[in-house]
Amino acid sequence: MAKVLVAFYSRDGSTEALAQAVSEGAVEAGGTVRMRRAREVVDAATMATVPGWTEAAGRMNALYEAPGVEDVAWADAIVLGSPTRFGLLASELKAFLDGLGGLWVQGKLAGKVGSAFTSSSSVHGGNEINNLTMFVPMAHFGMIIVPPGYADPVMFRAGTPYGASAVSYGASKAPPTEQDLAAAQFQGRRVVQVARALAAQPAATA
C-alpha cells in the first residue's frame, strides 16, 4: 500500500482542486492519501487586501491539517502543489519544505517518490517553470522525481508533462478544466504505481 502525502498551498481554490484530483487518482490506484495545506506566512492585513482570501483560507484550514514532519516521514511519495508566484512556488509551501532539514540530514527523504503540480493565472505565466522549480528541493532530498510525461493519452490533451497545471485567469477564478483534472488524476495514479514498484525493489533506492 503506497502512502502518499499531497502537500499543497492554495488561496483561491484552483490548486486545491488539483490536489483533490491527484488524491483521487492515488486512491484509485490503491494508495493511502493524506492531504495537507500549508499555512499562511503573510499577515492578516495582507490576506484582507483581496476579497475572499481570508474566507477561503479559513475554509481550507478547517478541511486540511497543516503538513508536518511526521507526514513526510510517513509518506512513500510526496506530491507538492503550489500556485505559481512570480514564476516560483509559494513561500507558504517553501516554509514547510524548509522545516524538513532534520529529516534531510538523516537521509530520510532519499528514495521517496516526488511529483509536482501548479496553478497560474495566465497561460504562459510560469506554470511549467514552477513545476520544474519544485523539482529542485526534491533533488536535494534525493527523491525519485516522477513527472506525468505523456505516459497516458490524457497527457496529450492536457500537455503538461512536468506536472498537472491549471490556468485560473486571475479575477475570473476559472476552475481547472476536465482535462486538467484528468491529468492530475493520472499523476496521482502514476505516483502510486511508481512508489509501489520501488517498494518492491528497495535496493533500487538505497
Residue 126 touches ligand FMN, criterion: CB under 6 A: yes
Q: Alpha carbon of 103 to those of 70, 74, 140, 191, 199: distances in Å? A: 10, 11, 12, 21, 19
Please identify which residue in 2, 5, 10, 128 interacts with ligand FMN, judged by CB under 6 A.
10
Q: Are 144 and 205 within 8 A, CB to CB?
A: yes
Residues 23, 115, 119, 160: which binds ligand FMN (CB under 6 A)? 119
Angle at 141 between CA 164 and CA 116, to 5 degrees: 5
172 sits near ligand FMN (criterion: CB under 6 A): no
**What minimum distance in Å lies between the beta carbon of 70 and ligand FMN?**
25
Q: Print the binding letters for residues 68-87 with ligand FMN: x by CB under 6 A, - otherwise.
A: ---------------xxxxx
Name the segment binding ligand FMN (CB under 6 A); options: 6-14, 20-28, 30-38, 185-193: 6-14
* Burial profile 129-155: b = 16 or more Cβ within 10 angstroms, e = fewer: bbbbbbbebbeebebbbbbbeeebebb
Residues at the site binding ligand FMN, with contacts judged by CB under 6 A: 10-16, 83-87, 119-122, 125-126, 168
